[in-house]
Amino acid sequence: MPITGTQIRRGAYYDSVVLMQLQKALAALPDVLDAGVVMATEANKDVLRASDLLNADADAARAEDLLIAIRARDERAADAALAQIDALLTRRARVTQDEYRPKGLDAATKMLPDAQWVLISVPGKYAAGVARDALDLGKHVFLYSDNVALEDEVALKNSAREKGLLVMGPDCGTALIGGIGLGFANRVRRGRIGIVGASGTGIQAVSVGIHQRGAGISYALGTGSRDLSDAVGAVTTLQALDFLARDSATDAIVLISKPPSPNVAARVLDAARRAGKPVVVDFIGYDARAEREGNLHFARTLDDAAEIAVNLNRKDAKNAKEENRKTFAPLASLRLNGFLRGLYSGGTLAYEAQLILREYIGNVYSNAPLDAAFKLESPNVSKEHCIIDLGAEEFMVGRLHPMIDNDLRLRRLRQEADDAAVAIILLDVVLGYGAHPDPARELAPAIADAKKRGKEIFAVVIGTEDDPQNYARQIEQLRDAGARVFESHEAAARAVGQGLGELNRKARPERSERDAKSAKEKNDAGTREHGDSLRVSASPRLPVSVSESFAALNVGLESFYDSLRAQNAPAIHVDWRPPAGGNERMMEILAKLKSKQ
């Protein structure tokens, strides 16, 4: 009889890659049916519970504890698997014996003194401390870590601005510096269009769209998802705009973000007006009064932003890919009778999907909804039409991002396929450096199984022919599994929306009309707020300088280091461990001692 066994490790720290490898190794053991290795947050417990991997013993686990769960054919097999955990944990991932790795940034800087950048992807509660050390050494910071306190973000960015340095993040997933991709980035050609983005997948979608249209990127500078909030005040966005405005290699700029607060939007748009170059603005969902205002060009979607930018910089575009990216197959013949479930690795793509779908079926439920009234009670339990951002912070404690590790999405895909009320499942597959080496291979069997259960699977692939995953092969594998594959996110979302729209109006006309009216009222109010705000100048303290010759120190995910090396970028990987072994009390004491030095 199948049984679930659990082991709890109090306050244990392990690299997320090590945890992923441990989970896969446990799942591959004889007579083990499934395995889960996560930090014991409530969201992670819910995921285990949905997979029948949570027993009564796990209730005692706290958010800071490592929770290991195994479902095996019998008690003997479960005990045997749990007994192998320590041996499996000792297998360090791909570390060669002859490669010396420094323990801290000081030593790493001595090994690579030309490094201007530090990439940080350690757990959020440690990330601010590492970032402060990097700024003290005069380094720009690419801060991938999420779950970083807001007050730490504000302090870090203000400190960086005073020093003429950039802090991209927290929660910054993508950047392109000197032709090198940081974090998750596609391999796109160099060119004369610069990007500033508070969104990782947004930057990827636009840079890919520019590449597919034959143009190229000078720089892509990420800011982090909270940069355009009132609390942060667009510090990094304004610095990045100022840098690209001064950069002789950049002729046009694309600005990507979810709608900022009205005061911050006014400040950013004022800086964009003074850039002296065309600026394409995609505040996703922002209802601009006109398509153009002076040098500002307002886009409606990520695809639209790429199209406008290339048209503005047409002299740079050559050998453009010949395709009609706006066409899609109608779904009327599918006889749809059920709900949509979107399972996204990209937060901005999930947000844009909701905006596009709202034109056809009104608001949909989400863990990150457009309207708070449509927020899911639990991110692990879908409701009606639903879009899930699987890269949201609640899923990321002690887990790798779904662009690296497919485990969470595969579990959710099986869960949605088992739901008789579901008709369509919509997926994004985002390629590039730093991402999973072959995501379609892992997704294909689950897609094929869902097809057997009568589900229609739609997938959008964000990537280029030069990405390491083999773009054409990814599409082929998804199509062979039965998915309808799109190369444009807007086209995929509109195809689904059109197919569901008529059904939704017939089944629930009152809600569709109410949602459409509510959306119009919100957009009208947003336009009035943005239009009436004062224009505030907020120039950076010191101008940012970025060398074309890129070199970096990496602290955290080893896959980001591997990505840099694959791009022939000089890099050092720091063998980082949390201070005081992660002991909170000892960390506080050490911090106080350091502050007195």
- CATH code (residue 455): 3.40.50.261
pLDDT confidence of residue 520: 43
pTM: 0.85
Asked if 39 and 145 sit in the same domain, the reply is no
Residue 72 belongs to some domain of the structure: yes
Residue 524 lies inside a defined structural domain of this protein: no
Q: Does 518 reside within a domain? A: no
Same domain assignment for residues 558 and 415:
no
Same domain (yes/no): 112, 227: yes
Range 125-157 burial, b when 16+ CB lie within 10 A, else e? bbbbbbbbbbbeeebbbbbbbbebeeebbbebb
Is 591 a member of any domain? no
- The answer as to whether 345 is a domain residue is yes
**Co-location of 67 and 129 in the same domain:** no
pLDDT averages per 10-residue partition of the chain, 597 residues: 89 77 90 90 84 85 88 92 87 54 94 97 92 97 94 97 96 95 96 95 97 96 95 97 96 94 93 96 85 93 96 61 42 67 95 95 94 94 96 82 92 95 96 96 97 95 97 97 96 91 52 46 40 40 84 94 95 86 54 57
CA distance 357 to 490: 10
Answer yes or no: do 395 and 316 share one domain.
Answer: no
Q: For tokens 């929770």, name the residue.
A: 67
Domain total of the chain: 3
Distance CA 573, CA 15 (A): 14
Q: Spell out the residues 6+ positions from residue 166 whose beta carbon is closer than 8 angstroms to its own.
A: 140, 141, 160, 221, 236, 239, 240, 544, 546
In a domain, 240, yes or no: yes
Q: Which residues contact 197 (CB under 8 A, 6 or more apart)?
A: 174, 203, 206, 220, 221, 222, 223, 254, 255, 256, 257
User: Could you tell me if 30 and 138 lie in one domain?
Assistant: no
What CATH number does the domain containing 40 carry? 3.30.70
Cα–Cα distance, 560 to 435 (Å, whole number): 9
Q: Which pLDDT belongs to residue 324? A: 35
Has residue 156 been placed in a domain? yes
The answer for 293, left when phi > 0, alpha when psi is -120 to 50, beta otherwise, is: beta
Is 442 found in the same domain as 373? yes
Residues 558 and 412 reside in one and the same domain: no
Q: Is residue 199 located within the same domain as residue 64? A: no
Whether residue 483 lies inside any domain: the answer is: yes
pLDDT at residue 317 in the model: 45
Task: Tell me the residue range of the domain where 433 lies.
Answer: 332-507
Q: Which of 89, 114, 130 is the last residue of a domain?
A: 89
Answer yes or no: do 67 and 169 share one domain: no
Domain boundary among 468, 485, 507: 507
**Residue ranges of the alpha helices (H) in 90-229?**
105-111, 124-136, 150-163, 200-212
**For residue 39, what pLDDT is reported?**
84
- Nearest alpha-carbon partner for 239 in 538, 550, 551: 538
Do residues 336 and 318 share a domain? Answer: no
Residues 125 and 47 in one domain: no
